[in-house]
A = this chain, B = another copy of it.
Amino acid sequence: MARTAGSHSDITGPRIRAAALRLFAREGYAAVSMRQIASEVGLQVGALYNYTPDKQSLLFTLMDEHMTALLAAWQEEPKGAVPEERLEAFTRFHIRFNLERADAVFISYMELRNLSPENFLAVEAQRRAYETALEQILSDGVAQGVFAMADPKVASLALIAMLTGVNTWYRAGGRLSLSQVQGIYWDMVRQMVQAR
């Protein structure tokens, strides 16, 4: 990646996306202007268009990067071979990863309606792939007789909603540590699927 010495192009792009992520999460995509983003980064508005063709692409890039990172991180997460170990790994992973990226999680749920139809389909496909990973763990457990539930598909959606909900109330430095929260949720998940 040869760049002219002193060029900022390799750092300005990420800074723009970081500012947009923070502002979109705090105020909403429609409520944030390109001027606001530029000012946050210390640029004039015209300069932004060297990094994104338009505002909508900026939003899509943020969501796409987030979903791609989520899927990649779960692939690389260490996890055991049996369903119960895999479900515990998923529970702890989901809580930790989503808390670390609260702004991106918020945007990826709230701003779906601001995506163009093609962009929406792309993000939806990634979301479904993630849901399917959990559903597979649940189905395997049912097939092996170690889990019990009426509908693994619905259960996977219910579990993800429950785990993502941590983001709405957890604050670092509060009553519970991350590891305590992970433990409490794993207890609930385990009871829900009747593991052991």
Seen from chain A, the residues whose Cβ lies within 8 Å of a Cβ on chain B are 26-31, 110, 113-114, 148-151, 154-155, 157-162, 164-165, 168-169, 176, 181, 183-185, 187-188, 191-194
Q: Tell me if B114 and A28 are in contact (CB < 8 A).
A: yes
Q: Tell me if B162 and A185 are in contact (CB < 8 A).
A: no
Q: Tell me if A168 and B161 are in contact (CB < 8 A).
A: yes
Smallest Cβ-Cβ distance to A194: which chain B residue: B191
Contacts of A181 in B (CB 8 A): 154
Contacts of A168 in B (CB 8 A): 157, 161
- Known A30-B30, A191-B192, A192-B192; 11 more pairs at CB < 8 Å: A28-B28, A28-B29, A28-B114, A30-B31, A150-B184, A154-B181, A154-B185, A157-B169, A158-B188, A161-B162, A161-B168
| Contact pick for A191, options B27, B30, B191, CB 8 Å | B191
Q: Which 6 A-B pairs have the closest CB atoms?
A: A161-B165, A30-B31, A30-B30, A162-B162, A192-B192, A150-B184
Q: Tell me if B28 and A183 are in contact (CB < 8 A).
A: no
Known: A113-B27, A114-B28. A158 touches B185 (CB 8 A): yes
Q: Tell me if B188 and A149 are in contact (CB < 8 A).
A: yes
| Contact pick for A113, options B26, B151, B157, B176, CB 8 Å | B26
Known: A161-B168, A162-B165, A165-B161. A149 touches B187 (CB 8 A): yes
